[in-house]
Amino acid sequence: MRVVFLSAVYPPEMKQYTRGLAEVGAEVYGVGDTPRDALPKDVRRYLTDYLAVPRLMDEDDVIQRVSGWLGGKTIDRVLSNWEPLVLLAARLRERWGMPGMSVETVRGFRDKELMKERARAAGLRVPRSSRVRTEAQVRAAAEEIGFPLILKPIAGAGSADTYRCRDQAELESAIRLTRGVTEASCEEYVEGEEFTYDTVCIGGKPAYENVASYLPKPIEARSVEWISPVIITVRDMHAPKFAGGLALGRNILKALGMGDGFTHMEWFLTPKGEAVFGEIGCRPGGAHLVDQMNYTSDIDLFREWARVACWGSFEAPTARKYNVGIVFKRALGRGRITRIEGLRDWLRQAGPWVVEEALLRPGTPRRNWKNTLLSDGHVVVRHPDWDEAHRLSFAAATGIKLYAE
């Protein structure tokens, strides 16, 4: 089994998928813009070969270089788990006649307006929305949809360049801030709780499912600096509260023609109990969500995804043992981290339920919180009881403080 894996090194979690592919018996031909001599040791040993390209986002150039590099070798799969490259992977599959989702299918997972159109056509509840390319179109869409609304890129990911607008003044501000975005979606803001629906699919049918709760919604967490975003995977995701979201997610997979691999969907539960579609990608969630899912079930989804992609088989147990909370911390101040307060007390309180502590240490430059959800590090805690997992997560969110100057 020979696999071309696009962006085998970046983002950092891609190294785990490279490992997973090698561990299920694949020869991994990695492609990326990391120079060959800069490949980390923890990924180099899993690669059969590697091609460094100068412009990874230049699809035509990458296609030409990869085709020449392979020199007539028989390739069995072309894969990518990074949002900006899923269409490129589909183009290479079509060029070489490989199995996997087509360009037209993948477009439905990449283009936010197209995905909503296909969901509407299947009779599923999605936010009212409009594709916009000019400032005049944004203002016209806002008048039709009404406030509050969301303005976000058609092909974005991770809430980047995404703004909630409660009135005309906030809309004008969002228009100014998104002038570099060539195409956007202007859509209804849905009141209620926000969750994920994540899967590893075989032939469009979930072999593994996950629900996680965003606390607060990502759009709010990306708007207020002092917030410590919390995400908790739900152990009892088959509770009645989530039934509508699970049904919605499974129907979205059918409507969009999902094949094999990861999906990451976001959905809303309104105060009236209605499940409303948000968006979906045919790739895994970022910000350590796959790690959380692994801790939830004590499995290795990096390897299981690879087994699905290569052999169409999922072998790990799917029982859910824990609610797993991840808490992202943002330092107070600017410059370098100077001290951490409350960590020792929280670790003592959480005891054996702590599974990761990865906060930036004093002396480390503070990250730009607007550019990364990872912020200045994180802690992960798990517990079989939801209330206790929630309590321990928010004890970290409020009790641990990082300072920078």
Q: What pLDDT is attached to residue 158?
A: 57
Residue 198 tokens, joined: 């994540």
Residue 136 tokens, joined: 């005049």
- Each residue of 250-271: pLDDT tens digit? 999 999 999 999 999 999 999 9
Q: What pLDDT is attached to residue 219?
A: 86
- Sorted by sequence, the CB contacts under 8 Å of residue 45 that are 6+ apart come out as none
Strand partners, 233: 212, 324
Distance between CA 33 and CA 215 in Å, rounded?
A: 35
Q: What pLDDT is attached to residue 223?
A: 83
- Sorted by sequence, the CB contacts under 8 Å of residue 168 that are 6+ apart come out as 142, 147
Q: What pLDDT is attached to residue 154?
A: 82
Residues in the chain: 405
- Each residue of 164-221: pLDDT tens digit? 899 999 999 999 999 889 899 999 999 999 999 999 999 999 999 999 999 999 988 8
How much is the pTM? Answer: 0.93
Q: What pLDDT is attached to residue 157?
A: 64
- Sorted by sequence, the CB contacts under 8 Å of residue 31 that are 6+ apart come out as 4, 5, 6, 7, 8, 50, 51, 53, 56, 62, 66
Given a contact cutoff of 8 angstroms between Cβ atoms, the answer to whether 252 and 121 are in contact is no
Q: What pLDDT is attached to residue 167?
A: 93
Pick out the chain residues at pLDDT < 50: none
Torsion of CA 169, 174, 177, 180, to 10 degrees: -130
Residue 17 tokens, joined: 């998928």
The owner of tokens 């228009």 is: 175
